[in-house]
Chain A
Amino acid sequence: MKRSLPSLIGHYLVLCAIGLICVFPFWWTFVTAISTEGNIFAFPPTFWPKAPAFDNFVEAFRVIPIWSFFKNSILITFWTVFWKLLLCSLAAYPLARMQFHGRKLVFGLILATMVMPSEVNFLVNFITVTKLSLVDSYTGVILPNIITAVSILLLKQAFEEVPQDLIDAARVDGAKEWTIFWRIVLPLIRPWLATVGILATVEAWNDYIWPFIVMSKPDEFPLSVGVLYLSGTYGSSTRVIAAGTVLTILPMLAVFLSTQRFFMRGMDGAVK
Chain B
Amino acid sequence: MAALEIKNIVKHYDNGVPVIKGIDLEIADGEFMVFVGPSGCGKSTLLRMIAGLEQITGGELLIDGKLANNIPPSERGLAMVFQSYALYPHMSVHENMAFALKLAGKKRAEIDAAVQKAAQILQIEHLLQRKPKDLSGGQRQRVAIGRAIVRKPQLFLFDEPLSNLDASLRVQMRVELSRLHQELKTTMIYVTHDQVEAMTLGDRIVVFNGGHIEQVGTPLELYNRPGNMFVAGFLGSPKMNFLAAEVASGNAEQAELTLAGGTMLRAQVDASSLTAGGAATLGVRAEHVSVATAGAPNSVPATVGHVEHLGDVSIIYAQVEGVSEMLAVKAAGGAAYKAGDAIAILMPAEHCHVFDGTGKACRKL
Contact = CB atoms under 8 A, between A and B. Distances in A.
B99 interface: yes
Interface stretch (A160-168, A245-253, A264-272): A160-168
Query: What is the interface residue range for chain A against chain B?
Result: 10 to 19
A173 interface: yes
Interface in B49-83: 51-53, 72-74, 78-80, 82-83
B88 A172 contact: no
A259 interface: no
A172 B103 contact: no
Nearest to B53: A168
Contacts of A179: 103
A179 B88 CA distance: 13
Interface of A is mostly: helix
A165 B79 contact: no
A165 B74 contact: no
A252 B360 CA distance: 75
B354 to A, nearest CB: 44
B82 A174 contact: no
B84 interface: yes
Interface string A155-181: 000000001011011111111000100
Interface string B138-163: 00000000010001000000000000
A188 interface: yes
A199 interface: no
B90 A165 contact: no
B78 A173 contact: no
25 contacts: A166-B86, A168-B48, A168-B82, A168-B86, A169-B80, A169-B82, A169-B86, A169-B88, A169-B147, A170-B88, A171-B53, A171-B74, A172-B52, A172-B74, A172-B78, A172-B80, A173-B99, A173-B100, A173-B151, A174-B74, A174-B100, A174-B104, A175-B103, A179-B103, A187-B90
Interface of B: 48, 51-53, 72-74, 78-80, 82-84, 86, 88-90, 99-100, 103-104, 147, 151
The 9 A-B residue pairs with the shortest CB-CB distance in the complex, in nearest-first order: A174-B74, A173-B100, A169-B86, A165-B86, A174-B103, A187-B90, A165-B82, A172-B73, A165-B84
Interface of A: 163, 165-166, 168-175, 179, 184, 187-188
